[in-house]
């Protein structure tokens, strides 16, 4: 229906006029940008990254008008990196004092994306400038926005960023299934893959997206927490407590003894959330909530991705990381040491944890319990780089620095 007034209609309301103006500004902007046909629509290249027509209005408004608060927490990912899971975990952690884990918890009847607003998709678009003054004193927000496009207030304030990365091959396969669930079947698997390799994907190129936040986590470790999906699934309890510490709401010993860690992990587990009625029959952005849940398994790419395609992604990753190696990783720091109590919670790692503990002393400094400080190299968890002398700082060899620069997020990198 046209929004233009007819001779017999009443004048447009102020909100309608603003909405019409916003729509015209969007069209004017899109007409100046490079575009690429993608899954039945178009992606537009904006400041070096690709965005959909649905993303662009909210992204532009977010960059212009969002003012970060020191108390804000931003959940940032590339699409299909575990966004829904991380939003649920962060929401449960930050609100556990006012929303205890019981039959009335908000996550039992609301999708995580409704509880943690996605900043590119303010809803509804009923104002020219979305109202960001919401969610009380401490806001938990989500975005796929690359680091380079964040509003200045985000990096200049005391707000915190939690970034979740994932194996690029798993991201690609999940991405393909997701777009097909949305009914976007115009592009073949091979064409979709070729575009992905060229960097044409939502908020892509994915390599630039990940490297930006990886470097920021090294420069500002108190501001940016860089998590890996594979480590989160492998050691959920340890990483949940690490996340709580970073967010300033640590889990106390009393809470741990009372089973709070297990309660949150159970509430937010993939299988539990997928089987909730709200996520089986509810809708969001005109799509079923079911599209946000497929299987969440690590390494599932092997069921869909031919070996030559997997190798191509690995090679692009190496080449991209080499091009981005512009400064040394002087701030590379070990992740927190895992305590014996953490292993009790990580049921998925029972056999491997026991082996790692027995071999802890053999691994040398910085390899307690088999955890790796640096992002892993091809096909595994990788080794912990660096050497410590007494109580002095950790030092890194040139090889460690090179591997750390290349292996930005555990995407099955081939070591340099």
Other beta carbons within 10 angstroms of residue 237's beta carbon come to 23
Where residue 259 falls (left for φ over 0; alpha for ψ -120 to 50; beta otherwise) is left
> Is 144 one of the annotated active-site residues of the chain?
yes
Q: Is 369 helix (H, G, I), strand (E, B) or coil?
A: helix
Which of 118, 144, 209, 242 is labelled catalytic? 144
What region does 192 belong to: left with phi over 0, alpha with psi -120 to 50, or beta?
alpha
As given in the structure block, the two tokens for residue 62 are: 């977010």
In the block, which residue shows the tokens 């109202």? Answer: 131
* Residue tagged 């050691």 (tokens): 235
**In angstroms, what CA-CA distances link 386 with 23, 366, 372?**
53, 7, 11
Residue 163 CB-density burial (10 A; 0-12 exposed, 13-18 middle, 19+ buried) = buried
DSSP 119: T
| Alpha-carbon separation of residue 322 from 171, 264, 397 (angstroms) | 21, 39, 17
Cβ contacts of 140 within 8 Å, gap of 6 or more:
72, 73, 75, 87, 90, 91, 94, 115, 116
Catalytic residue ranges? 144
């Amino acid at each position: 229906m046209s929004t233009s007034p007819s001779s017999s209609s009443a004048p447009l309301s102020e909100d309608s006029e603003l909405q019409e103006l916003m729509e015209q500004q969007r069209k004017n902007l899109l007409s100046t940008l490079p575009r690429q046909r993608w899954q039945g629509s178009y992606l537009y290249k904006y400041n070096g990254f690709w965005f959909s027509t649905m993303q662009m209005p909210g992204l532009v408004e977010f960059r212009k008008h969002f003012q970060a608060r020191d108390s804000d927490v931003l959940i940032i990912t590339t699409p299909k990196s575990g966004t829904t899971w991380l939003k649920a975990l962060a929401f449960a952690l930050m609100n556990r004092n006012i929303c205890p884990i019981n039959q009335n918890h908000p996550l039992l009847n609301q999708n995580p994306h409704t509880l943690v607003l996605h900043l590119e998709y303010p809803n509804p678009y009923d104002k020219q400038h979305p109202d960001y003054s919401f969610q009380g004193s401490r806001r938990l927000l989500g975005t796929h926005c690359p680091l380079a496009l964040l509003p200045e207030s985000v990096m200049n304030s005391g707000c915190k960023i939690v970034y979740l990365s994932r194996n690029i091959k798993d991201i690609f396969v999940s991405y393909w299934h997701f777009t097909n669930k949305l009914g976007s079947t115009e592009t073949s698997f091979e064409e979709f893959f070729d575009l992905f390799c060229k960097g044409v994907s939502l908020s892509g190129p994915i390599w630039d997206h990940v490297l930006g936040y990886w470097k920021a986590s090294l420069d500002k470790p108190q501001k940016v927490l860089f998590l890996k999906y594979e480590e989160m699934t492998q050691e959920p309890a340890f990483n949940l407590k690490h996340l709580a510490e970073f967010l300033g709401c640590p889990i106390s010993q009393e809470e741990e003894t009372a089973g709070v860690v297990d309660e949150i992990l159970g509430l937010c587990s993939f299988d539990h959330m997928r089987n909730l009625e709200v996520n089986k029959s509810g809708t969001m952005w005109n799509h079923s909530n079911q599209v946000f849940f497929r299987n969440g398994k690590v390494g599932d790419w092997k069921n869909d991705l031919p070996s030559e395609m997997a190798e191509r992604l690995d090679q692009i990753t190496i080449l991209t990381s080499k091009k981005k190696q512009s400064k040394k990783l002087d701030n590379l720091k070990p992740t927190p040491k895992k305590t014996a109590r953490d292993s009790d919670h990580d049921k998925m790692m029972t056999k491997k944890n026991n082996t790692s503990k027995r071999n802890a002393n053999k691994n040398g400094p910085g390899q307690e319990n088999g955890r790796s400080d640096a992002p892993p190299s091809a096909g595994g968890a990788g080794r912990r780089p660096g050497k410590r002398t007494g109580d002095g700082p950790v030092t890194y060899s040139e090889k460690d620095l090179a591997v750390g620069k290349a292996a930005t997020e555990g995407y099955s990198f081939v070591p340099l």
